[in-house]
Amino acid sequence: MSGIQITALVIILLYMAATVAIGLIVSKRKQAKAEKQSNDDFLMASKSLGSVVLAGTLFAANTGGASTTGIATNVHTYGLSACWYVIAAGIGFVLVSFIAPYFRKAQANTVPEIISKRYGKSSHIFTAFTSIAALFMATGAQIIATASIINVVTGISFQTAAIITTVVVIIYTMVGGFASVAAANMMHVLFITVGMTIAMFIMVSNGEVGGFSALFARAEAVSAEAGGGLDLLSMTKIGIPTVIGYIAMYCMTFPTGQEIVQTYCSAKNGKSAMTGSVIAGVLSAVYAIVPAVIGLIAYTCIDGYALGGSQKNALAEATINFAPPVVAGLVLAAIVAATMSSASGNMIGTATMFTNDIFTPYINKGNKDDQKEVWISRVVMVIVGLVGLSVALTASNIISVMMGAFALRSAGPFAAFICGIFYKNVTQRAGFISIVCGTVVAAIWIYVLHTPWGLSAMVPGGIVAFIVIFLVSALERGSGVPAAPEIRFEEE
């Protein structure tokens, strides 16, 4: 390995060690305060997160491999317009902030649990299993991103790097639970936002890049030379349907994605949930251009790089080639921060859903046993890590994996969730049928039709789900079927 690779590797390893140390410290402090840790304490941070910590946790949970290495990779295909993937997330956080307080006041810990309060057992089980399957896929996407960085820096095989990543994430997530994840996320946010932004300016100022003017001029020349529709500077190439699809996807997946909902539910009150969501949205929208510019540097300034097509290691290659050793290490550590925080959020979310929505109500016959549930939660985290590892070893395109995961978990439940809160005449059967229909349509859109027009499967799946839930509810209410019992929200 070269000197810059060794320096970068040392910084990444130190960062991983610091992350695990945070988990150990938080865990020991929790144990010192209470002789017996409840499963809610372990998985929900005792519902004590303020708006700033909550914003950091939301941002870090959503800013993973797709939002860093995925954007840099896609600059080849969409130009700078690849950054719309994260800008749309910022818009989504702001829009979802208006319903964020309902999560905290629903007296529930998971999406399936909220769904079950209105639609019953069948909807509960179906939503739990589709959500868990989606988080398996999402965890795999984060492992892909982290392992690709380690592969570039060290030269060790991607498979070995993926195994190392999986082990570290499992350990630090298992040790302290959601409280340690939330604490580590504040460090992650600092590295992701401040660290990567400073590094971007340093890389642009590199003599081989020559500043923004030289970078943009060279990008135009590379685009013209390559031909074939390459337009590295375009902010519109991704297309309006895709941007609309992204915004719709986030507006639907944030209220139905367990790693996000769990964060809202962990807020100390509804106001903190709303404020934290807005802060996370603004932060995401501002940050979005950073990985896109770094990807532009790779495709523009590395000789022949753009001619090789989309490169999944574009962000790492640009960093290694154009940043000083310490800065390169900090940038790559920031990516590791993003992917590890997302992966750990996925693990926590899956464990929460399994214990709350499958183990306790159906396997343990409704009996609460905190010690047993904490143990089960940790076992589930290991399983999620191993399944995510298998996904990482068999897939390659991070954004494709994430888009599939988002669609399958949210296209169906979103309509049921919104109607469950705001539509008093919805019926139980209508909710279940709409969840199934929306999920099936999303699956067909992705795996049979192969995402026509680049439009997220969330859109057709969500539209069908809304049509079905209103139509079936109207038919059933007309024949005398009572409306589903309304969700009771706690007062603050």
Give one DSSP letter per residue of 392-413, joined into a string.
Answer: HHH---HHHHHHHHHHHHHTTH
Instruction: Inform me whether the pLDDT recorded for 213 exceeds 90.
Output: yes
Give me the mean pLDDT over the 25-51 stretch.
57
Is residue 228 helix, strand or coil?
A: coil
Tokens of 433: 């049928």
Instruction: Inform me whether the pLDDT recorded for 46 exceeds 60.
Output: no
Tokens of 15: 């960062």
Instruction: Inform me whether the pLDDT recorded for 281 exceeds 50.
Output: yes
CA distance 187 to 117: 36
What integer pLDDT is reported at residue 252 of this predicted model?
Answer: 86
What integer pLDDT is reported at residue 105 of this predicted model?
Answer: 72
List the one residue out of 197, 217, 184, 193 whose CA is nearest residue 26.
184
CA distance 57 to 182: 6
pTM as predicted: 0.75
What integer pLDDT is reported at residue 348 of this predicted model?
Answer: 80
What integer pLDDT is reported at residue 176 of this predicted model?
Answer: 57
Burial of 272 (0-12, 13-18, 19+ CB in 10 A): buried
Mean pLDDT computed over every residue of the chain: 84
What integer pLDDT is reported at residue 178 of this predicted model?
Answer: 55
Please report, for residues 247, 355, 376, 431, the alpha-carbon distance to residue 364 in angstroms, rounded to integers and kept in the order given.
Answer: 39, 10, 11, 26
- Domain 3-399 -> CATH class: mainly alpha
CA distance 172 to 146: 15
At a CB cut-off of 8 Å and minimum separation 6, what does 138 contact?
A: 64, 259, 342, 346, 388, 401, 402, 405
Tokens of 265: 């539910």
Residue bearing the bigger pLDDT, 267 or 438: 438
At a CB cut-off of 8 Å and minimum separation 6, what does 372 contact?
A: 364
Question: Which of 1-10, 43-52, 218-227, 265-274 has the weakest average pLDDT?
Answer: 43-52
Tokens of 127: 């939503």
CA distance 410 to 257: 7
Residue bearing the bigger pLDDT, 220 or 61: 220
Residue 184 pLDDT grade (very low, low, confident, very high; cuts 50, 70, 90): low
What integer pLDDT is reported at residue 397 of this predicted model?
Answer: 65
Residue 289 pLDDT grade (very low, low, confident, very high; cuts 50, 70, 90): very high
Q: Using a pLDDT cut of 90, give the percent of the chain over it.
A: 32
At a CB cut-off of 8 Å and minimum separation 6, what does 43 contact?
A: 109, 177, 178, 262, 348, 351, 352, 355, 377
Chain segment 312-327, per-residue pLDDT in tens: 788 888 988 999 888 8
Is residue 267 helix, strand or coil?
A: strand
Identity at 50, one-letter amino acid code: G
Is residue 207 helix, strand or coil?
A: coil
At a CB cut-off of 8 Å and minimum separation 6, what does 431 contact?
A: 115, 118, 119, 123, 416, 419, 420, 469, 484
What integer pLDDT is reported at residue 349 of this predicted model?
Answer: 78
Give me the mean pLDDT over the 364-371 stretch.
80
Is residue 63 helix, strand or coil?
A: coil
Domain boundaries, the chain: 3-399, 411-485
What integer pLDDT is reported at residue 45 of this predicted model?
Answer: 44
Expressed in angstroms, the distance from the first to the final Cα of the chain is 57
CA distance 145 to 70: 8
Residue 175 pLDDT grade (very low, low, confident, very high; cuts 50, 70, 90): low
At 267, phi and psi to the nearest 5?
-65, 150
Out of 41-55, 135-149, 328-342, 379-393, give the one with best mean pLDDT. 379-393
At a CB cut-off of 8 Å and minimum separation 6, what does 466 contact?
A: 415, 434
Chain segment 428-464, per-residue pLDDT in tens: 999 999 999 999 999 999 889 988 887 888 889 999 9
